[in-house]
Chain A
Amino acid sequence: MSPTQPQLKPLSQSSRRLVFLSMLGMFTVLVPLLVLYATGYRFNWMSSETSFRIVGGMYITNSAEETEIIVNGEPVQNMRIFQQAAYIQNVPAGLHEVYVEGEGVRTWVKNLPVFAQLVTEARSFNLPVIPQVRVITNWVDPRVSAGVLFEPATTTPFRGATTTSLLVSTTSTATSTYAVNSEYVFVRSLFATPTTTATSTATQKPSGNNSPVLTTPSTTPILATTTKRTQDVVLYESEGEVFAQWVGEDRRRPYYYCVNYQDATTTAQLYGEHVFAQLYTQLASTTDFGNSELENQTLCRSTIRIDRKWQDVKMFDFVPGTTDLVLMHLSDGLYVVEVDDRSWQNVQLLYPGTDIEVVIDGQTIYVKQDEYFLQVYADISR
């Protein structure tokens, strides 16, 4: 017998209602569960006593690629959400040791406090272990597009540095086949211009938890002679120390100027005694640190002292393009120091030398060593 109607009927009201109610039920259950999850609540399935715990997180930005983040000795997997940032989830509250390391770069290490439902931010930096430079010679050989070094090929004028320049060595002083390098002329003019430098003979005060306590300086410090400003951060020198000061709006103040205040002891333990000391010095007149209502409040400083490794500061400035990294020309070389002083400030050598001069022109760092001019890179990718 032939059919008189299609075998497949339209979807029935009851089926549709069942699916709809199932979806509604799922919605009702999922919304609170996922909201709790998103706010840091985790259900502990593995423990014999099932329970909730509340976690925090860490957000580490890093410009160096091919680096690894290690938290409490354990490498963090699959954490990058952007090319230059990592969000580390499910971090229990407490103090955590963070390393960012990679081949050919200096290791950045910091102890960072993490609080339940909050994310601790940090920006790591990893300078090349071997300084990356480009030599700017007086003469260039246009036939091979290379700079000319009037040195025997056997000499090594830039020991301990890697140069990206193509250079030819010659012992002849004849220059008739070479062309004058206009960049050299320009850079030489930069160094010919007198620069204001501030030097100090002061002895550095302790800078981190592990810094030794030093004696009072016996020499008279030289007062600040210059300030540098990039965006809303000012670098200035006072009594031989270099300070970074936030001068912008409070709501835009970077996280490392602030602490999640607990009590005096805990805050000092989590952030470093020096941080609490600075906080106390700057806020004591307006804040009652004995008030328990301050717990879990965000307290901010406006000034952070920059570590100078107990050396004299010949020159300081921002690392070009940053407001949180300071270039410090100290007695034995050129260093990069982070402003973030939670636990301590990472200090990394950019270029060594006791007899170098430094000039920053725009985004470029130039170093004069002997009669050579070098462009120094703070980035291993060069």
Chain B
Amino acid sequence: MEEPQSLLPYATRSDFKVGRATELTGRDRRLYRLLEIFPGAFSWITLIGVLALSNFAPFVAAYFIIAFAIYWVLKTAFLSYHLRYNWRRLRHHLSLDWGVLIERFSFDHIHQVVVLPFYKEPESIIEQTLTSLANVKYDKKNIIVVLATEERAGLPAEEIARKMKEKWGDTFGAFLVTTHPANVPGEMAGKGSNATYAIERARVEILDPHGIRYNHTLVSIFDIDTVLYPDYFNCLIWHFMTAKRPLKSSFQPVPIFNNNIWEAPAIARVVAMSSTFWEMVQQERPERMATFSSHSVSFQALYEVGYWQTNMVSEDSRIFWNLFIANDGEYDVVPLSYPVSMDANAAGTLWGTVKNIYRQHRRWTYGVENFAYVMYHFTKNSKISRRKRIIIAFQQAEGYWALVTNPIMLFILGWAPIFLGTYEFHQTVLSYQLPLMVRDLLIIAMFGLVVSSVISLTMLPPRPKDKSRLRYVVLAVQWILVPATMIIFSAIPGLDAQTRLMLGKYMGFWVTPKARN
């Protein structure tokens, strides 16, 4: 594809959209490779270090584990505080009439481009997404829908797109169906390459011919199962209009994975809600946010960096880092604290669900590839303030490290000194107190789950008639699965992803299957 002419200066660099070390040469390649190795190596060193410490210096290991368990309790409390606050704010935002709030702005000139990349998802899912889009409280003539199909998905996907255009084509200002060609050299098959192709087609076929200005266009890229709440675009407009630098901001809603929550198995519900809660926590500390999953951004910002990267997996978060680095660090994520509904990852069988969740989380946690990208460009773009670079480097490193190591250390390695410690250690009160103390601290930390349980109940869609009221009890109690889900669907896939990156076994894009009963 032709490079847009209005790229920001930094975005014109040949290595701006580097996807992996092998795309570079010389010193840059070695540096990038080192940065790819770093997160996995650091995580493995930590885990092996705790084991070694437990064996050779069990007293030190025991002190470390006690300190770590206290840290975990306090961290849980800290995150719960953010979660509870954002929950209040989310409910408040849902209760507002955003149409009234934006009356004072003139926004008729702003167009909403909605990009819906899809692959082989069933028609019913796309239908529900478009229905919700048709029901938003926003002038539909200012909404441009881009249904982005893949050539490799074959005729069935084309047929679905044709039917959707036929049904919804007149509802919106424009309805464009694009077909991303298969096997484009240099591209990785996935959402990023599809979306980039689609948005460029939208520019060429709709924005430019109609004279729609790029800085008057907001692009919302939604996963195909995204169901919008009626005031989404009004809420987006309010935040766009009041943002400190609207054209240098991405707008992040809260993804609630509850479309199919009543049908999904408990494990899928817990994992899905946990992901939602993490995003809610992040909404209250936007300086640590990157965009995730469905989100919105001005077209101009996208155009200035050449849209999404087409050569890597985590395009949803990478686009934020592209924008942040190309704008010399002067770029924000604005939390909307307003929800969009999506599907919990559930397959037809429990084992299928477990496998799908694992793969999905491995793909999400493969976002660690951003670490190498960000750190690499931090060494190149000195216009980003040093303070910002240091803070972000620490936050990123700590985040990826904690994701993988904390649950394992807490629930498994906490017992290591007891099994691996020396004879002298086993004779001590410390050896016996350690598991009791860690257990008690974890129980205290579990109170955070009570908060999660209560909040999750308030975020449920209406109960289907065929589901018993007793299901609410199950939905409340299911949170005891969290220790297991943290290890199986967070730490292990995270370690898997980091290890693959560390070894240079780069991952491809895995499309989460969407299916509803």
Residues in chain A within 8 A of chain B (CB atoms): 2-8, 10-11, 16, 19-20, 23, 26-27, 30-31, 34-35, 37-40, 55-57, 59, 81, 87, 89, 117-119, 251, 255, 298
- Residue of chain B at shortest CB distance from A118: B427
Q: Are A19 and B81 in contact (CB under 8 A)?
A: yes
Q: Cβ of A118: which chain B residues have Cβ within 8 Å of it?
A: 427-429
Of A3, A19, A38, chain B has the most CB atoms within 10 Å of the CB of: A38
Q: Are A8 and B429 in contact (CB under 8 A)?
A: no
CA distance A81 to B437 in the complex (A): 12
Q: Are B434 and A38 in contact (CB under 8 A)?
A: yes
State the Cβ distance, B329 to closest chain A Cβ, in Å.
Answer: 18
Q: Are A3 and B101 in contact (CB under 8 A)?
A: yes
CA distance A2 to B97 in the complex (A): 10
State the Cβ distance, B470 to closest chain A Cβ, in Å.
Answer: 32
Given A23-B77, A27-B70, the answer on whether A2 and B100 have CB atoms closer than 8 Å is yes
Q: Are A119 and B432 in contact (CB under 8 A)?
A: yes
Q: Is B7 among interface residues, defined by CB-CB distance under 8 A?
A: no
Q: Are B96 and A6 in contact (CB under 8 A)?
A: yes
CA distance A3 to B62 in the complex (A): 55
CA distance A57 to B430 in the complex (A): 10
State the Cβ distance, B40 to closest chain A Cβ, in Å.
Answer: 28
CA distance A6 to B428 in the complex (A): 57
State the Cβ distance, B279 to closest chain A Cβ, in Å.
Answer: 14
Given A4-B101, A57-B432, the answer on whether A27 and B78 have CB atoms closer than 8 Å is no
Given A8-B89, A59-B432, A119-B431, the answer on whether A30 and B101 have CB atoms closer than 8 Å is no
Q: Are A19 and B70 in contact (CB under 8 A)?
A: no
Q: Cβ of A119: which chain B residues have Cβ within 8 Å of it?
A: 427-429, 431-432
Q: Cβ of B81: which chain A residues have Cβ within 8 Å of it?
A: 19
State the Cβ distance, A141 to closest chain B Cβ, in Å.
Answer: 51
* Contacting residue for A31 out of B66, B284, B335, B433, CB 8 A: B66
Q: Is B447 among interface residues, defined by CB-CB distance under 8 A?
A: no
CA distance A16 to B85 in the complex (A): 11
CA distance A31 to B69 in the complex (A): 9
CA distance A134 to B112 in the complex (A): 85
* Contacting residue for B78 out of A23, A30, A87, CB 8 A: A23
Q: Cβ of B431: which chain A residues have Cβ within 8 Å of it?
A: 119
Given A8-B89, A27-B70, A35-B66, the answer on whether A55 and B429 have CB atoms closer than 8 Å is yes
Q: Is B92 among interface residues, defined by CB-CB distance under 8 A?
A: yes
Q: Are A11 and B284 in contact (CB under 8 A)?
A: yes
Q: Is B436 among interface residues, defined by CB-CB distance under 8 A?
A: yes
CA distance A31 to B65 in the complex (A): 10
State the Cβ distance, B369 to closest chain A Cβ, in Å.
Answer: 29
Q: Is B242 among interface residues, defined by CB-CB distance under 8 A?
A: yes
Q: Are A87 and B432 in contact (CB under 8 A)?
A: yes
By DSSP majority rule, is chain A's interface helix, strand, loop, or mixed? mixed
Q: Are A38 and B427 in contact (CB under 8 A)?
A: no
* Contacting residue for A117 out of B66, B82, B428, CB 8 A: B428
Q: Are A27 and B429 in contact (CB under 8 A)?
A: no
Given A5-B242, A16-B284, the answer on whether A38 and B430 have CB atoms closer than 8 Å is yes
Q: Are A56 and B63 in contact (CB under 8 A)?
A: no
Give 3 nearest A-B pairs by CB, closest first: A40-B429, A38-B433, A11-B284
Q: Cβ of B505: which chain A residues have Cβ within 8 Å of it?
A: none
Given A23-B74, A34-B70, the answer on whether A57 and B429 have CB atoms closer than 8 Å is yes
Given A31-B66, A35-B63, the answer on whether A10 and B284 have CB atoms closer than 8 Å is yes
Q: Cβ of A39: which chain B residues have Cβ within 8 Å of it?
A: 428-430, 433
Could you show 14 A-B contacts with beta carbons less than 8 Å apart? A3-B100, A10-B89, A11-B85, A11-B86, A16-B284, A19-B81, A23-B75, A31-B67, A39-B433, A40-B429, A87-B432, A117-B428, A118-B428, A119-B429
State the Cβ distance, A112 to closest chain B Cβ, in Å.
Answer: 13
CA distance A27 to B71 in the complex (A): 7
Besides A7-B92, A40-B430, 5 other A-B contacts (C-beta < 8 A): A5-B238, A10-B283, A27-B71, A39-B433, A255-B427
State the Cβ distance, B6 to closest chain A Cβ, in Å.
Answer: 32
Q: Is B285 among interface residues, defined by CB-CB distance under 8 A?
A: yes
- Residue of chain A at shortest CB distance from B437: A38
Q: Are B101 and A10 in contact (CB under 8 A)?
A: no
Q: Are B104 and A4 in contact (CB under 8 A)?
A: yes
State the Cβ distance, B238 to closest chain A Cβ, in Å.
Answer: 8
Give per-residue flags for B404-424: 1 if the beta carbon is below 8 A from chain A beta carbons, else 0: 000000000000000000111
Give per-residue flags for B57-96: 1 if the beta carbon is below 8 A from chain A beta carbons, else 0: 0000011001100110011011001100110110011001
CA distance A55 to B427 in the complex (A): 13
State the Cβ distance, A9 to closest chain B Cβ, in Å.
Answer: 8
- Residue of chain A at shortest CB distance from B100: A2
Q: Are B437 and A6 in contact (CB under 8 A)?
A: no
Q: Cβ of B422: which chain A residues have Cβ within 8 Å of it?
A: 251
CA distance A20 to B104 in the complex (A): 38
- Residue of chain B at shortest CB distance from A87: B432
State the Cβ distance, A132 to closest chain B Cβ, in Å.
Answer: 33
Q: Are B429 and A117 in contact (CB under 8 A)?
A: yes
Q: Are A251 and B423 in contact (CB under 8 A)?
A: yes
- Residue of chain B at shortest CB distance from A91: B429
CA distance A26 to B71 in the complex (A): 9
Q: Cβ of B242: which chain A residues have Cβ within 8 Å of it?
A: 5
Q: Are B62 and A38 in contact (CB under 8 A)?
A: yes
Q: Cβ of B104: which chain A residues have Cβ within 8 Å of it?
A: 4
Give per-residue flags for B228-250: 1 if the beta carbon is below 8 A from chain A beta carbons, else 0: 00000000001000100000000
CA distance A31 to B242 in the complex (A): 44
- Residue of chain A at shortest CB distance from B434: A38
Q: Cβ of B433: which chain A residues have Cβ within 8 Å of it?
A: 37-40, 89
Q: Are A30 and B429 in contact (CB under 8 A)?
A: no
Q: Are A20 and B428 in contact (CB under 8 A)?
A: no
CA distance A18 to B286 in the complex (A): 17
CA distance A34 to B73 in the complex (A): 13
Q: Are A10 and B428 in contact (CB under 8 A)?
A: no
Q: Cβ of B283: which chain A residues have Cβ within 8 Å of it?
A: 10
State the Cβ distance, A177 to closest chain B Cβ, in Å.
Answer: 56
Q: Cβ of B93: which chain A residues have Cβ within 8 Å of it?
A: 6, 8
- Residue of chain A at shortest CB distance from B423: A251
CA distance A309 to B427 in the complex (A): 32
Give per-residue flags for B363-405: 1 if the beta carbon is below 8 A from chain A beta carbons, else 0: 0000000000000000000000000000000000000000000
Of A4, A8, A27, A56, chain B has the most CB atoms within 10 Å of the CB of: A8
Q: Are B101 and A5 in contact (CB under 8 A)?
A: yes
CA distance A117 to B286 in the complex (A): 47
- Residue of chain B at shortest CB distance from A3: B101
Q: Cβ of B82: which chain A residues have Cβ within 8 Å of it?
A: 11, 16
Give per-residue flags for B339-382: 1 if the beta carbon is below 8 A from chain A beta carbons, else 0: 00000000000000000000000000000000000000000000
- Interface members, chain B 146-166 (any A CB < 8 Å): none
State the Cβ distance, A79 to closest chain B Cβ, in Å.
Answer: 11
Q: Cβ of A10: which chain B residues have Cβ within 8 Å of it?
A: 89, 283-284, 286, 335, 337
Q: Cβ of B77: which chain A residues have Cβ within 8 Å of it?
A: 23
CA distance A117 to B66 in the complex (A): 17
State the Cβ distance, B397 to closest chain A Cβ, in Å.
Answer: 19
CA distance A208 to B6 in the complex (A): 95
Q: Are A27 and B74 in contact (CB under 8 A)?
A: yes
CA distance A211 to B283 in the complex (A): 75
CA distance A6 to B88 in the complex (A): 12
Q: Cβ of A16: which chain B residues have Cβ within 8 Å of it?
A: 82, 284-285
Q: Cβ of A3: which chain B residues have Cβ within 8 Å of it?
A: 96, 100-101
CA distance A251 to B286 in the complex (A): 54
CA distance A19 to B78 in the complex (A): 7
State the Cβ distance, B305 to closest chain A Cβ, in Å.
Answer: 27
Q: Cβ of A55: which chain B residues have Cβ within 8 Å of it?
A: 429
State the Cβ distance, A114 to closest chain B Cβ, in Å.
Answer: 10
State the Cβ distance, B156 to closest chain A Cβ, in Å.
Answer: 44
Q: Cβ of B285: which chain A residues have Cβ within 8 Å of it?
A: 11, 16
Q: Cβ of B71: which chain A residues have Cβ within 8 Å of it?
A: 27
State the Cβ distance, B357 to closest chain A Cβ, in Å.
Answer: 30
State the Cβ distance, B253 to closest chain A Cβ, in Å.
Answer: 14
Q: Cβ of A23: which chain B residues have Cβ within 8 Å of it?
A: 74-75, 77-78
